[in-house]
Amino acid sequence: MGEDERNTEELRDEDNPESSFRYSVKHITQSSWIIYLLITVVMSIGYLFIIIDSFDQLILPEESAFSFLIEEQLLGLIIPNLIIILITPLVWQKTASIIMQNQVVRSFESAKKKSIATRPMSLLGRVFGMKTFGSEHNYYLEGKVEERDLNDITNLFRNRMLSAISSNIGFTFYIAFLINYFLPSDLTGKDALFLSIMVMQLVPLLISWIVPVNWALKDTLIRTVGENNTIYDMGEEMNNGILDKFIGIGGLIVGVNVAFDLAYDATLLETTNILVAAVYFVFYFLLLSSGTIVIISAIYLNGYHESLVNSVRVKLSEVIRVASTNINNVEITDAVRTAVTPPSTGAGKTVGKTLIVLLALIGLALCMYYVLVVIGPFGYLFFWI
């Protein structure tokens, strides 16, 4: 929502108060799933440059083109990618739940119990570069929540998935930069790019402490009245912090530099190096894993996000006031807290999901070890294994 002039008034929904307080989603229909899958395919077109040898040779000079073994394609890309799609929504839900409970809910509980002034979400503020406020400010929980239609693909892509894609790409470029920087001089260029592509498969897991937390904070609708009666939405404050300044824009800048370093060949013309760098940047980074993030986001938002948001909103409603935001003069009034039972999760299901994740991670590690060390160029780096 950003900074805007708003007014809050008491929330009353006599007909069905729970329906207005509860966050809900309109689940993805079969036709929408087809569209999401098509978007996933289009945004994964970079795989054609890896799987089909002649594809990249149509654009790249022969000395800059890649040729991957079937084993490398299957165990290094296809199977790891399917594993990541399977387990990432589970990891996102668990990670976001832990962070929201420990760094959001408990911070407000502590602020309520302590007599001295405290600053809720201060740790999140330091980590993500988001603006936070002291407990003396008027924090409140937005009472009326609109249903989110997951079949409104344009809106969902613009307001949710783009931030996930941006974070994924940003982290990918930072990792590629570190790999290219620390690898021995005889393993730069194609080998460094190969390793970057392999490690890129893990990035959706690495952003589990950012993307689902940002979405949960946005949809929980924690707001406060700051100076000059300005309403701040804490989810938007997080989005305007590290996601925009460091991960998104910063990652793209680093990515351009990394792509050029990986593509540079002193024996080629400068224009050829620029062409190769552009292909690396677009097809080996931007359009390689972005499709994976799209389908992961769709699965997570459709099956996990709703219960997390409602659980956090119920717990927060016990420690901060519930109100609704309207245009006009700003005035906070206490509201009637609606009684919503938090969703229950069976212990057996949790253990089963955890076991699936662990087994999948073991399988992923074995695949990557085989491709990178057994048949790949990095065996001598792991002679101690």
What phi, psi does 337 have (nearest 5°)? Answer: -75, 120
Mean pLDDT by 10 residues, the chain (385 residues): 43 46 92 96 87 75 74 86 94 94 86 64 73 70 89 94 88 81 70 77 90 93 79 82 63 79 76 85 85 96 94 90 68 48 56 84 87 70 48
Pairing relationship of beta strands 321-326 and 25-26 according to DSSP bridges: unpaired
| pLDDT value, residue 384 | 44
| pLDDT value, residue 379 | 61
SS3 of 53-105: HHHHHCCCCHHHCCCCCHHHHHHHHHHHHHHHHHHHHHHHHHHHHHHHHHHHH
What phi, psi does 5 have (nearest 5°)? Answer: -85, 125
Q: Which two tokens stand for residue 88?
A: 């990432």
pTM, to two decimals: 0.84
| pLDDT value, residue 35 | 96
